[in-house]
């Protein structure tokens, strides 16, 4: 199976915050944003794997800045690392006040997807080759983030998380 570049999985999604997307303060609801992020990230994982995918986990998301009614939401997603059947997707989200030409960071997140075969079973995905410095940094960190997810999900023993443990034992 050929390996693929991170940029080949890039998805850019643009949405407009309408009244039905907001909370009582006139800001975009977190749940609506996470829904859009899930779609953008799933499309990115599908592009990388050329297979249908399901969301396996979502890392904690902090909302740095609210996105106002009438502002534009920009979501950028690409695969930061492919494992065996799973892929980590990195997302960056910005809000934009188009009238005042002001763009601001809203949040950043990692979603993990598993590619499925026609029987609904996990299937192997192509490896990902990072190219830029940012991609290489994300690619390296993905190993540790995966270990945290699997430990919290009860699917890995902390003792088996070599890269994570090394963080705390470095001299
Ligand atoms: C995600 C799912 C396919 C994993 O299936 P499973 O039977 O546990 O399969 P495995 O244990 O063989 O794990 C398959 C892959 O999922 C990964 N995985 C499992 N649980 C995970 C978690 N909590 N976080 C991150 N990755 C996880 C494993 O690491 C493995 O990846 P790898 O092959 O790259 O090492 C299964 O739990 C599922 O279908 N969940 C529901 C998905 C869903 O409905 N999502 C919401 C709607 S899209």
pLDDT digits 0-9 by tens, 7-39 = 999 999 999 999 999 999 999 999 999 999 999
- Tokens linked to 144: 């540790």
Please enumerate in sequence order all residues whose Cβ is within 8 A of that of 114, keeping only pairs 6 or more positions apart, or say none: 53, 54, 56, 85, 86, 87, 122
> Which band of pLDDT confidence, cut at 50, 70 and 90, is reported for residue 163?
confident
> Which band of pLDDT confidence, cut at 50, 70 and 90, is reported for residue 1?
confident
Q: Provide mean pLDDT across the span 40-69.
A: 96
> Which band of pLDDT confidence, cut at 50, 70 and 90, is reported for residue 2?
confident
Residue located nearest, by CA, to atom 38 of ligand 1: 56
Please tell me the total number of residues recorded for the chain in this structure.
171
* Tally of CA atoms within 13 A in the half-sphere of 118 that contains its CB: 0
Answer whether residue 162 shows pLDDT above 90.
no
What is the structure's pLDDT at 167?
83
pTM: 0.95
What is the atom index within ligand 1 of the atom nearest the CA of 155? 20
Q: In this structure, how many other beta carbons lie within 10 angstroms of the beta carbon of residue 105? A: 11
Compute the distance between CA of residue 73 and CA of residue 18 in angstroms, rounded to an integer.
11
What is the structure's pLDDT at 171?
58
Could you tell me the distance, in angstroms and rounded to a whole number, from the CA of residue 57 to the centre of ligand 1? 8
What is the atom index within ligand 1 of the atom nearest the CA of 124? 33
């Amino acid at each position: 199976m050929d390996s693929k570049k991170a940029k080949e999985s890039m998805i850019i999604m643009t949405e407009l915050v309408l009244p039905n997307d907001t909370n009582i303060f006139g800001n975009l609801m977190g749940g609506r944003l996470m829904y859009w992020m899930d779609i953008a990230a799933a499309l990115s994982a599908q592009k990388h794997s050329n297979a249908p995918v399901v969301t396996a986990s979502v890392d904690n998301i902090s909302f740095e800045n609210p996105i106002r009614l009438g502002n534009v939401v920009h979501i950028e997603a690409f695969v930061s690392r492919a494992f065996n059947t799973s892929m980590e997707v990195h997302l960056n989200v910005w809000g934009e006040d188009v009238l005042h030409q002001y763009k601001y960071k809203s949040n950043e997140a990692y979603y993990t997807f598993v590619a499925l075969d026609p029987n609904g079973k996990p299937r192997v995905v192509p490896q990902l080759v990072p190219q830029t410095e940012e991609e290489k940094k994300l690619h390296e960190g993905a190993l540790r983030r995966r270990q945290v997810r699997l430990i919290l999900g009860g699917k890995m023993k902390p003792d088996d998380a070599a890269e994570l443990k090394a963080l705390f034992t470095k001299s």
